[in-house]
Homo-oligomer: A and B are copies of this chain.
Amino acid sequence: MTRYQHLANLLAERIEQGLYRHGEKLPSVRSLSQEHGVSISTVQQAYQTLEQRQLITPQPRSGYFVAPQKAQPPVPPMSRPVQRPVEITQWDQVLNMLDARSDKSIIPFGGGSPDVTQPTLKPLWREMSRVVQHNLSEVLNYDELAGRRELREQIARLMLDGGSVVTANDLIITSGCHSALSLALLSVCQPGDIIAVESPTYYGTMQLLRGLGLKAIEIPTDPNTGISIEALELALDQWPIKGVILVPNCNNPQGFIMPDARKRAVLSLAQRYDIVIFEDDIYGELATDYPRPRTIHSWDIDGRVMLCSSFTKTIAPGLRIGWIAPGRYYDKLLQMKYAASGTNVPSTQLAASNFIREGHYHRHVRRMRQIYQRNMEIYTCWLREFFPCGICVTRPTGGFMLWVELPEQVDMVCVAKQLCRMKIQVAPGSLFSASGKYRNCLRINCALPPIDKHREVMVQLGTAVKVAMEPDESTAHR
């Protein structure tokens, strides 16, 4: 990178981070040249670059000003999926995505890994080493079937923040939220059963349904308020639906938090039609606002909400610790855990339990909430800057995912294949639909820090999308 490019990026970053506000005057060419020890012409070139990128505007005889804020890209409209039960496909694409995890040279914008590089995680390593030294007998032996009691006690305490009043005896530890959801479905469903899902829905959940031989019916979902109660009711009238999977807090991929009134409405619908709610709260603790949003589980009075969550997003995926509050299905779930996944690793459970007990967890999550919020703002700026006009972007209230809707003619499945050759992995929207909808959408993992390398990827991504928008010449000339 040349000097002027470096300077331009530095200034762009400051603008994105809000250090220079929209409409504010930027430092003079001379003062910048002194500050950074570069020539006048380098600063001029940097300013010209930023002008081309429409980040700043020159005012004759006054210098450069930060460009007025572009309108936020609009939020995508309510989804309109096919409303009948379908078999789920696309396992191969998901498998490719999973394979990419082990290839360090691939930039995983399509995955769901959190940022595990922050210093607030350091006490966790210490606890992991300490546990091996001090709890050797527990570390080597079988765990309790329900999981370590001390950990369940800590989790019960955390769950109070979401309004759920449970004790250690109501909880079962699983190896991640995915496994919790899987055991929940295995406890309630038979192959061929129909499960209602938000649309779009996280591809892991889709493939889970597929693996267990279940059918999905996709329900229209609003990117601000969540699943359409009306559409869900219609589907319940029409089909023998066993349950509904919801991510009501910091939804993946759309980032919304369902308003409390709608959470309660969906619960009373579940009661009326006697179905189960599988509530996935994996991102709930990463809500931007404090205190964190309530779970649907917190209003449940007859044990029909099975709350699933994990430390995968809040601490680290490598712990493989999730949990479930299975309500009235507790006995069945314990049996399914024994049958389908077995007991868990004691060492990581003990380490996590100590990490929470000593207050490190809250400190870490507080920090991560801020980091992810900031990251999502910067990525949104980049989307505005590098992507074509006419895109829609969600405005998440937590978590670290952005959901982008591109113009209709863009086929992200094709774009993803091209990017793959450049070692960039993205998640095309079609993975988030049982019926392969949302080919013009994509999900972006903003847990990847907004560093130069990732900014560059966003530039490449934007370019690829722009190319995909152009009419195909070979077709045009026919």
| A138→B190 CA distance, assembly (Å) | 36
The answer to whether the Cβ of A211 comes within 8 Å of any Cβ in the partner chain is: yes
* Chain A residues near B (Cβ < 8 Å): 91, 94-95, 98-99, 101-102, 111, 113, 116, 121, 124-125, 128-129, 132-133, 136-145, 149, 175-176, 178-179, 182, 186, 190-191, 204, 207-208, 210-213, 316-320, 334-336, 338-348
Q: Contact partner of A144 among B101, B208, B212, CB < 8 A? A: B101
Closest beta carbon of chain B to A38's beta carbon, Å: 35
Name 9 interchain pairs, CB-CB below 8 A, sorted by A.
Answer: A101-B141, A125-B136, A129-B132, A140-B316, A142-B318, A175-B175, A182-B340, A210-B339, A320-B342
CB–CB B186/A340 < 8 A: yes
Q: Given that A207-B339, A340-B212 are contacting pairs, would A116 and B95 also be in contact in the complex, using a CB cutoff of 8 Å?
A: no
Q: Tell me which residues across on chain B come within 8 A of A141, comparing CB atoms.
A: 101, 113, 116, 316-318
Name the residue of chain B whose CB is nearest to the CB of A130. B129
Closest beta carbon of chain B to A244's beta carbon, Å: 19
Q: Tell me which residues across on chain B come within 8 A of A95, comparing CB atoms.
A: 145, 334-335
| A343→B133 CA distance, assembly (Å) | 26
| A411→B204 CA distance, assembly (Å) | 49
| A136→B129 CA distance, assembly (Å) | 11
Q: Given that A211-B339, A339-B211, A342-B182 are contacting pairs, would A318 and B129 also be in contact in the complex, using a CB cutoff of 8 Å?
A: no
CB–CB B346/A143 < 8 A: no
| A102→B144 CA distance, assembly (Å) | 6
Closest beta carbon of chain B to A12's beta carbon, Å: 29
Name the residue of chain B whose CB is nearest to the CB of A186. B340
CB–CB B101/A175 < 8 A: no
| A183→B235 CA distance, assembly (Å) | 33
Q: Contact partner of A344 among B125, B138, B191, B320, CB < 8 A? A: B320
Residue with the greatest number of chain B CB neighbours at <10 A, chosen from A137, A175, A345: A345
Q: Contact partner of A345 among B142, B340, B348, CB < 8 A? A: B348
CB–CB B316/A345 < 8 A: no
Q: Tell me which residues across on chain B come within 8 A of A317, comparing CB atoms.
A: 140-142, 343
| A341→B336 CA distance, assembly (Å) | 11
Q: Contact partner of A319 among B99, B128, B345, CB < 8 A? A: B345
Name the residue of chain B whose CB is nearest to the CB of A213. B190
